[in-house]
Amino acid sequence: MNITEIFDNYKSIAVVGMSKNATKPSNSVPVFMKNQGYNIIPVNPSADEIEGMKCWSALADVPEKIDIVNVFRPSDAALEVVKEAVQRKISNGDISAIWLQEGIINDEAKALAEANSIEFIQNKCMYKEYVNVK
């Protein structure tokens, strides 16, 4: 599946590491995607709410369906996020794609996601890719 198909087919995005700081890409990118009609689900254990959206401490806590896990965490933290996403996919049957933002690369995380039939994108900015294909 290519990036255009991911944007067309998946509408619910859990953002792991979404920031409360509006000047950071980890806030502005998800807000942009929300404004394009996507359901944004902030995942950040240090916030109750971000940009008026209820924030969850972990992927496992999110009650609604998740299509994409968008990761704004350091490369060395990405594997733990993917492990959590795989666990959720096994228990809930959702999570079709994992997207590591620009500058975030973890090949071990990629291998784990792909071994569990989860689309995997790394080192790409969701905002830039969306603007490029739409």
* pTM of the shown model: 0.97
Task: Give residue for tokens 């496992």.
Answer: 60
Cα-Cα-Cα-Cα torsion 38, 39, 43, 44, nearest 10 degrees, comes to 80
H runs (alpha helix) in 40-104: 75-92
- The per-residue pLDDT for range 107-130, each reduced to its tens digit, is 999 999 999 999 999 999 999 999
The per-residue pLDDT for 134 is 86
Domain residue extents for the chain: 3-115
Whether 72 has a pLDDT exceeding 90, the answer reads: yes
Q: In Å, what is the CA distance from 111 to each residue of 18, 21, 31, 85, 88?
A: 24, 32, 29, 13, 17
Closest Cα partner for 10 from 109, 104, 102, 121? 121
Q: Which two tokens stand for residue 28?
A: 């502005």
CATH class of 3-115: alpha beta
